Amino acid sequence: MQTEYGGVNVLVSSMHDESLFSERVLRARARGYISKDEASEKVIDAIRQVLDGEVYLSDQIIQKLARTMVGGRAGDGQSTLESLSDRELEVFDLIGRGLTTRDIADRLHLSVKTIESYREHIKSKLTIESSAQLMRHAVQWVLENG
């Protein structure tokens, strides 16, 4: 993000699950992540912190990252979706939105075979056995996460 926009410090504000997306936006070089549900004072604090060149994350995410760094699991309730790569999560989301394999391939400018491979990797990582189960799981996730 910073490379594309000449060193602009980016703070992502989103309604999506912080535990799933905060690490992803940091890997994309954003300087922080805050939920849209946060109180305005926290949003202002986050903006100030990012403008000062610091990284902003919620206390909950900081604790999760700290537990991971000291060798523990991030938490017993850790989402299996965290194991998906960014591209796999994107494909999973598009499956949940009802797109066919061909539609997903066209949208992402990839081959149908590549999307089929992503589908198989997703099923394996989420321990899903059938395409129908994958579709149900993906639709449920989209309904819950927008």
6-15 pLDDT tens trace: 678 899 988 8
pLDDT of residue 75: 47
55-113 pLDDT tens trace: 998 888 888 777 767 765 544 444 578 888 889 999 999 999 999 999 999 999 999 99
Topology annotation, domain 80-145:
Arc Repressor Mutant, subunit A (1.10.10)
pTM: 0.61
pLDDT of residue 4: 59
Q: What is the 3-state secondary structure (H, E, C) of the chain?
A: CCCCCCCCCCEEEECCCHHHHHHHHHHCCCCEEEECCCCHHHHHHHHHHHHCCCCECCHHHHHHHHHHHCCCCCCCCCCHHHHCCHHHHHHHHHHHCCCCHHHHHHHHCCCHHHHHHHHHHHHHHCCCCCHHHHHHHHHHHHHHHC
Enumerate the CATH 1.10.10.10 domain ranges in the chain, comma separated: 80-145
pLDDT of residue 117: 95
